[in-house]
Homo-oligomer: A and B are copies of this chain.
Amino acid sequence: MRARLFLSIAASLLITPALADEGMWTFDNFPSAAVKQKYGVTIDQKWLDHVRASAVRLAGGCSASVVSADGLVLTNHHCVAGCVQDLSSPRRDYIKTGFLTAARSEERQCPGMQAEILASIGDVTSKVNDATKGKNGPDYLRARNAAIAAIEKDACQGRDATNRCQVISLYDGGQYKLYTYRKYSDVRLVFAVEFATAFFGGDPDNFNFPRYDLDFSFLRLYEGGRPVSTQEHLKWNASAPKDGEPVFVAGNPGGTDRQLTASQLLTLRDVIRPPLLMQLSEVRGRYTRFAEESAEHARIVNRSLFGTENTLKAQRGAQLALLDPALIESKRKADAELKAKVDADPKLHAAIGDPWAEIAQAQAARAEINTRYSFLEGRAGGGALYRYARTLVRAATEREKPNGERLREYADARLPLLQKTLLDPQPVERDLEQLQLEFWLTKLREELTADAPETALYLGKESPESLSRELASSRLSDPALRKQLWEGGAKAIAASNDPMIRFVVKTDPAARAIRKAFEDRVEGPVDRASERIAHARFAVYGTSVYPDATFSLRLSYGKIAGWTYRGRDIPSFTTFDGLYKRATGQFPFDLAPRWVEGKSKLDLKTVFNISSANDIIGGNSGSPLINANGDVIGAIFDGNIHSLGGDFYYDTALNRAVSVSTAAISEALDKIYGQSALLNELSR
Give me the interface of A with B, judged by CB distance under 8 Å.
Answer: 201, 203-205, 208, 270, 274, 277-279, 281-290, 292-293, 316, 319, 323, 435, 445-446, 449-450, 461-463, 465-466, 584-589
Q: Which residue of chain B has the shortest Cβ distance to A323 in the bound complex?
A: B270
Q: How far is the CA of A586 from the CA of B461 in the complex (A)?
A: 7
What distance in Å separates the Cβ of A394 from its nearest Cβ neighbour in chain B? 29
User: Which B residues lie within 8 Å of A278 (CB)?
Assistant: 277-278, 281, 316
Q: How far is the CA of A283 from the CA of B278 in the complex (A)?
A: 11
Q: Which residue of chain B has the shortest Cβ distance to A287 in the bound complex?
A: B285
* B282/A205 in contact, CB under 8 A: no
Q: How far is the CA of A346 from the CA of B204 in the complex (A)?
A: 55
Q: How far is the CA of A288 from the CA of B441 in the complex (A)?
A: 14
User: Which B residues lie within 8 Å of A288 (CB)?
Assistant: 282, 285-286
Q: How far is the CA of A323 from the CA of B587 in the complex (A)?
A: 39
What distance in Å separates the Cβ of A174 from its nearest Cβ neighbour in chain B? 31
* B205/A450 in contact, CB under 8 A: yes
* B282/A463 in contact, CB under 8 A: no
Q: How far is the CA of A289 from the CA of B442 in the complex (A)?
A: 13
User: Which B residues lie within 8 Å of A445 (CB)?
Assistant: 204
User: Which B residues lie within 8 Å of A205 (CB)?
Assistant: 450
* B277/A201 in contact, CB under 8 A: no
Q: How far is the CA of A290 from the CA of B450 in the complex (A)?
A: 24
Question: Residue A449 contacts which of B204, B279, B316, B435 (CB distance < 8 angstroms)?
Answer: B204
* B285/A450 in contact, CB under 8 A: no
Q: Which residue of chain B has the shortest Cβ distance to A313 in the bound complex?
A: B446
Copies of this chain, complex-wide, total: 2
User: Which B residues lie within 8 Å of A277 (CB)?
Assistant: 274, 277-278, 281
Of listed A286, A289, A319, A449, residue having the most chain B CB within 10 A = A289
User: Which B residues lie within 8 Å of A319 (CB)?
Assistant: 274
What distance in Å separates the Cβ of A25 from its nearest Cβ neighbour in chain B? 33
User: Which B residues lie within 8 Å of A289 (CB)?
Assistant: 285-286, 289-290, 293, 435
Q: Which residue of chain B has the shortest Cβ distance to A464 in the bound complex?
A: B586
Q: Which residue of chain B has the shortest Cβ distance to A584 in the bound complex?
A: B461
Q: How far is the CA of A250 from the CA of B285 in the complex (A)?
A: 39
Question: Residue A204 contacts which of B201, B204, B446, B466 (CB distance < 8 angstroms)?
Answer: B446
User: Which B residues lie within 8 Å of A201 (CB)?
Assistant: 450
User: Which B residues lie within 8 Å of A270 (CB)?
Assistant: 323
Q: How far is the CA of A349 from the CA of B28 in the complex (A)?
A: 66
* B281/A285 in contact, CB under 8 A: yes
What distance in Å separates the Cβ of A128 from its nearest Cβ neighbour in chain B? 38
Q: Which residue of chain B has the shortest Cβ distance to A283 in the bound complex?
A: B285
What distance in Å separates the Cβ of A259 from its nearest Cβ neighbour in chain B? 24
User: Which B residues lie within 8 Å of A292 (CB)?
Assistant: 465
Given contacts A201-B450, A463-B587, A465-B587, 8 further A-B pairs with CB under 8 A are A204-B449, A270-B323, A277-B277, A278-B281, A281-B285, A286-B286, A293-B293, A461-B585
User: Which B residues lie within 8 Å of A203 (CB)?
Assistant: 446
User: Which B residues lie within 8 Å of A587 (CB)?
Assistant: 463, 465
User: Which B residues lie within 8 Å of A323 (CB)?
Assistant: 270, 274
Q: Which residue of chain B has the shortest Cβ distance to A266 in the bound complex?
A: B325
User: Which B residues lie within 8 Å of A585 (CB)?
Assistant: 461
* B281/A204 in contact, CB under 8 A: no
Q: How far is the CA of A47 from the CA of B681 in the complex (A)?
A: 93
Q: Which 10 A-B pairs have the closest CB atoms?
A: A285-B285, A463-B586, A289-B289, A281-B281, A204-B450, A282-B285, A281-B282, A285-B286, A278-B281, A461-B584
* B463/A584 in contact, CB under 8 A: yes
User: Which B residues lie within 8 Å of A463 (CB)?
Assistant: 584, 586-589
Q: How far is the CA of A466 from the CA of B585 in the complex (A)?
A: 11
- Write 6 A-B pairs (CB below 8 A) sorted by A numbering: A208-B449, A274-B319, A274-B323, A284-B285, A285-B287, A465-B587
What distance in Å separates the Cβ of A609 from its nearest Cβ neighbour in chain B? 15
Question: Residue A284 contacts which of B282, B465, B466, B586 (CB distance < 8 angstroms)?
Answer: B282
Q: Which residue of chain B has the shortest Cβ distance to A289 in the bound complex?
A: B289
User: Which B residues lie within 8 Å of A449 (CB)?
Assistant: 204, 208
User: Which B residues lie within 8 Å of A450 (CB)?
Assistant: 201, 204-205, 208, 589
Q: Which residue of chain B has the shortest Cβ distance to A445 in the bound complex?
A: B204
Q: How far is the CA of A235 from the CA of B264 in the complex (A)?
A: 57
Q: How far is the CA of A343 from the CA of B316 in the complex (A)?
A: 42
User: Which B residues lie within 8 Å of A279 (CB)?
Assistant: 281
What distance in Å separates the Cβ of A458 from its nearest Cβ neighbour in chain B? 13
Q: How far is the CA of A204 from the CA of B586 in the complex (A)?
A: 40
Q: How far is the CA of A465 from the CA of B292 in the complex (A)?
A: 10
User: Which B residues lie within 8 Å of A283 (CB)?
Assistant: 285
Question: Residue A282 contacts which of B282, B290, B462, B589 (CB distance < 8 angstroms)?
Answer: B282
Q: Which residue of chain B has the shortest Cβ distance to A205 in the bound complex?
A: B450
Q: How far is the CA of A642 from the CA of B285 in the complex (A)?
A: 28
What distance in Å separates the Cβ of A485 from its nearest Cβ neighbour in chain B? 30
Q: Which residue of chain B has the shortest Cβ distance to A442 in the bound complex?
A: B288
Q: How far is the CA of A205 from the CA of B586 in the complex (A)?
A: 43
Q: How far is the CA of A586 from the CA of B462 in the complex (A)?
A: 6
Of listed A208, A284, A586, residue having the most chain B CB within 10 A = A586
What distance in Å separates the Cβ of A307 from its nearest Cβ neighbour in chain B? 15
What distance in Å separates the Cβ of A320 from its nearest Cβ neighbour in chain B? 9
User: Which B residues lie within 8 Å of A282 (CB)?
Assistant: 281-282, 284-285, 288
Q: Which residue of chain B has the shortest Cβ distance to A278 in the bound complex?
A: B281
User: Which B residues lie within 8 Å of A204 (CB)?
Assistant: 445-446, 449-450
User: Which B residues lie within 8 Å of A586 (CB)?
Assistant: 461-463, 465-466
Q: How far is the CA of A398 from the CA of B284 in the complex (A)?
A: 40
Q: How far is the CA of A284 from the CA of B588 in the complex (A)?
A: 23
What distance in Å separates the Cβ of A648 from its nearest Cβ neighbour in chain B? 16
What distance in Å separates the Cβ of A383 from its nearest Cβ neighbour in chain B? 16
User: Which B residues lie within 8 Å of A584 (CB)?
Assistant: 461-463
What distance in Å separates the Cβ of A476 from its nearest Cβ neighbour in chain B? 24
Of listed A285, A450, A589, residue having the most chain B CB within 10 A = A285
Of listed A205, A449, A462, A463, residue having the most chain B CB within 10 A = A463
